[in-house]
Amino acid sequence: MEKTGILTTQLEKAIAWARKYSLFTYPFVTACCGMEFMSVSCAHYDTDRFGAALPRFSPRQSDLLLVVGTVNHKLAPVLLRIYEQMLEPKWVIAFGACASSGGFYDNYATVNGIDKIIPVDVYVPGCPPRPETYLDALIKLQNKIQNEKPAILPAHGGLQPKPRLEHLLGETKHQI
């Protein structure tokens, strides 16, 4: 094997290791799951062990979007805008049944899962999820990041795709 090949592999692992232990979260909290998220953010569960303790309330300083709670159609453009403003590479956790699938809301106003709007890396089940379930999701995300091929620039060259919400969510008209 060539020396350059060995060096590249080790560098990729080092970058992935640094990324997975320096997650800057953006909590997008909309509903009752937020109470559970507050408890998991407290010292008892110590998310600093995973390098994901400090939230950033600016998407431009965040690389992990936590969607915590119900997302309705009126809120969908806001969620999409925040996702687009986040740094690359970026990851998304759907926290709870509502964010993952719409939960028990089967109506015209609720988005039946945020993956209709943005890509999701890990789904956290539960209504609300237990804190340990969130910690498990963090570990799963870290394993995913460790095995990802780190791209310095995303495939689209740094430009964000501009999805149209009416195509993603159905016939309801949306304006961004």
Q: Contact positions toward ligand SF4, by CB under 6 A?
A: 31-33, 69-70, 96-98, 103, 127-128
Burial 101-132 (b: 16+ CB within 10 A, else e): bbbebeeeebbbbbbebbebbbbbeeebbebe
CB-wise, 98 or 165, nearer to ligand SF4?
98
CB-wise, 18 or 127, nearer to ligand SF4?
127
| Cα dihedral: 146, 148, 151, 156 (round 10) | -140
CB of 84 to ligand SF4, least distance (A): 24
Name the residue type at position 88. E
Helix (H) / strand (E) containing 68 = strand 64-68
CB-wise, 19 or 129, nearer to ligand SF4?
129
CB of 6 to ligand SF4, least distance (A): 47
| 59: number of Cβ within 10 Å | 18
CB of 176 to ligand SF4, least distance (A): 24
CB of 99 to ligand SF4, least distance (A): 7
* Cβ(90)–Cβ(64) below 8 Å: yes
CB-wise, 103 or 113, nearer to ligand SF4?
103
CB-wise, 33 or 64, nearer to ligand SF4?
33
* Cβ(125)–Cβ(100) below 8 Å: yes
CB of 48 to ligand SF4, least distance (A): 24
